[in-house]
């Protein structure tokens, strides 16, 4: 049996007909005169027998297989076969020229191509963030034999995780279907496993690759303080785990509805104008624990608005606004040189809800009133 080899890939595509030899040559002999009548219904191309009508560009469907190096199928939906016309190689994944057909749980693929178009056929495996392919297999559509096996020399496993959301009212439930899932990232690329009604999600991952995996909620109704915004979409995340899939398989993730505290900060200038705290000047909302165990800073947007979800609702803080290194300003605080700081007149001490919704005002000092 002849195998197709490539220096780029460590996998093979094998066709049943290849075992018969390279060519089925035709000899011009009197006893073969009957072949002239057969040529009306059969076309011979390079030693391959092509069904009648194929050369006229008819559409044909071939049943082939995608298997791993041990002859086992991959999970349904993770593998398949693509066909790219040779004059279009390489086909981009979004190309309308690329034909793709998924494999079922037994590795079976039914791919439909044009008989007289020459393609590059590839078996593929989408596993986690990586895409592994078989040997390239260049043939006319009609020359792809039924039963061809595309061997992808890679491993892929299916791993299960659970995702729940915890609401501010104290209730908890599975992440609603369609509102996120399990996010697995490696080398700058990510894949998402969608949960079922119980919050359980399965993800196909490469067992040899280390991933960072977390729960992810998207566009949750009524939620504020998203961790990340992309266009119209808002995202919230659970804590994450890192490691190879076997070490984190079965992990449960909880995405907490954030305690979202909102503040505004404005600057009053000596010329009488008032504007939002500059978002590009440094500063923001400063919340320091009253037990001196640490501080957190909330950044302001261009309107001077800040949202903070990293404050413990049961902890007491001192909360105010500050700005750093304002050009031309005098009388600043220089306790952390070389930076110079100015603070709001308002200072709130207590749990975050006492300051929630407040507006903080920072006044440009008159140099003539500077002490010392």
Q: What is the DSSP string of 298-366?
A: EPP-TTSEEEE--S-TTS-EEEEEEEE--TT--S-B-SSTT--EEE-S--EEE-GGGTTT-EEEEEPPP
Nearest C-alpha neighbor of 342 from the set 234, 257, 269? 269
With vertex at residue 234, the alpha carbon angle to CA 230 and CA 239, rounded to the nearest 5 degrees, is: 110
Give me the domains of the chain, ranges plus CATH numbers.
Answer: 13-152 (2.60.40.2190), 157-256 (2.60.40.1120), 261-369 (2.60.40)
Q: Tell me what pLDDT residue 214 has.
A: 97
Q: Profile the chain (372 residues) by mean pLDDT over runs of 10 residues.
A: 32 40 34 34 37 60 95 89 94 91 95 96 90 92 95 91 95 92 93 93 92 96 90 95 96 94 96 89 92 93 91 94 93 86 96 95 91 60
Q: Give the three-class secondary structure for 126.
A: strand
Q: Tell me what pLDDT residue 131 has.
A: 86
User: Peptide bond preceding 61: is omega within 30 degrees of 0, i.e. cis?
Assistant: no
Q: Tell me what pLDDT residue 337 has.
A: 79
Q: Which residues have a Cβ under 8 Å from the Cβ of 358 and sit 6 or more positions away? A: 263, 264, 319, 346, 348
Burial class (CB in 10 A: 0-12, 13-18, 19+), 28: exposed
Q: Tell me what pLDDT residue 282 has.
A: 81
Question: For residue 258, how many other CB atoms are within 10 A of its CB?
Answer: 18
d(CA 73, CA 104): 8
d(CA 55, CA 39): 12
Q: Tell me what pLDDT residue 25 has.
A: 34
């Amino acid at each position: 049996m002849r195998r197709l080899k490539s220096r780029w890939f460590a996998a093979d595509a094998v066709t049943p007909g290849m075992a018969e030899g390279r060519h089925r040559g035709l000899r011009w002999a009197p006893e073969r005169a009957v072949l002239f009548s057969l040529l009306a219904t059969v076309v011979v191309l390079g030693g391959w027998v092509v069904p009648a009508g194929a050369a006229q560009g008819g559409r044909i469907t071939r049943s082939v297989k995608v298997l791993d190096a041990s002859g086992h199928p991959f999970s349904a939906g993770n593998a398949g076969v693509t066909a790219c016309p040779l004059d279009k190689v390489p086909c981009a994944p979004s190309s309308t020229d690329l034909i793709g057909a998924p494999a079922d749980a037994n590795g079976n693929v039914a791919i439909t191509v044009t008989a007289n178009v020459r393609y590059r056929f590839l078996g593929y495996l989408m596993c986690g963030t990586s895409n592994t392919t078989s040997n390239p297999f260049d043939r006319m559509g009609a020359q792809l034999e039924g039963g061809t096996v595309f061997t992808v020399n890679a491993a892929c496993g299916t791993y299960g995780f659970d995702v729940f959301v915890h609401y501010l009212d104290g209730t908890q439930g599975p992440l609603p279907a369609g509102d996120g899932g399990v996010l697995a990232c490696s080398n700058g690329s990510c894949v998402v496993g969608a949960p079922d009604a119980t919050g359980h999600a399965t993800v196909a991952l490469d067992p040899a690759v280390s991933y960072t995996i977390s729960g992810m909620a998207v566009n949750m109704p009524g939620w504020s303080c998203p961790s990340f915004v992309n266009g119209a979409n808002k995202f919230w995340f659970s804590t994450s785990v890192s490691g190879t899939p076997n070490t984190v398989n079965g992990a449960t993730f909880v995405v907490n509805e954030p305690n979202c505290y909102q503040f505004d900060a404005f600057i009053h200038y000596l010329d009488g104008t008032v504007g939002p705290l500059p978002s590009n000047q440094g500063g923001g909302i400063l919340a320091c624990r009253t037990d001196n165990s640490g501080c957190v800073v909330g950044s302001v947007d261009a309107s001077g608005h800040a949202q903070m979800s990293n404050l413990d609702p049961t902890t007491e803080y001192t909360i105010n606004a500050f700005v750093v290194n304002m050009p031309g300003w005098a009388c600043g605080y220089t306790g952390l040189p070389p930076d110079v700081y100015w603070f709001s007149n308002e200072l709130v001490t207590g749990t975050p809800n006492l300051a929630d919704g407040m507006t903080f005002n920072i006044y440009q000092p008159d140099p003539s009133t500077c002490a010392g």
